[in-house]
Amino acid sequence: MFSPPPGAIAVIFLSGRSAADPEGYGEAAAAMELAASRMDGYLGIDSTRDGDGVGITISWWRDEAAALSWRDDPDHARIRDSGRAVWYDWYRVIVATVDRAYGWTRPTGDD
């Protein structure tokens, strides 16, 4: 389980998917995740989408400069434009700095 360090940046992307081009969307989402993972300062990603198409994706970055570098990446910008044109009915982006993070995992009983 990933816990971002204090000072990390969380880019929270809330979205509503359109019904258009699910295969193209899936391919673009996979390509964007791979591209982000290759960026300097990338820490990870968490994502979920419900049956109505509402999704939350949080990408984690070492610092503001890394998050801005991803925002300004030309391939990301191209896919973002396609998202606006085809794949999303709406979206919101929230950028936050991590003050603290922690987690818990249920023991498996094998320990």
pLDDT of 25-73, one tens digit each? 999 999 999 999 999 999 999 999 999 999 999 999 999 999 999 999 9
Q: H helices of the chain, where?
A: 22-37, 64-71, 74-82
pLDDT over 70, % of the chain: 98
Please report the pLDDT score of residue 2 as a whole number: 76
Q: What is the DSSP letter of 5?
A: P
Looking at the predicted structure, is the pLDDT value of residue 110 above 90?
no
Question: Which carries the bigger pLDDT value, residue 21 or residue 1?
Answer: 21
C-beta atoms surrounding 95 within 10 Å: 14
Q: What is the rounded CA–CA span in Å between residue 38 and residue 56?
A: 21
Looking at the predicted structure, is the pLDDT value of residue 104 above 80?
yes
CATH architecture of 9-97: 2-Layer Sandwich (3.30)
Written as six digits, the tokens of 29 are 């989402």
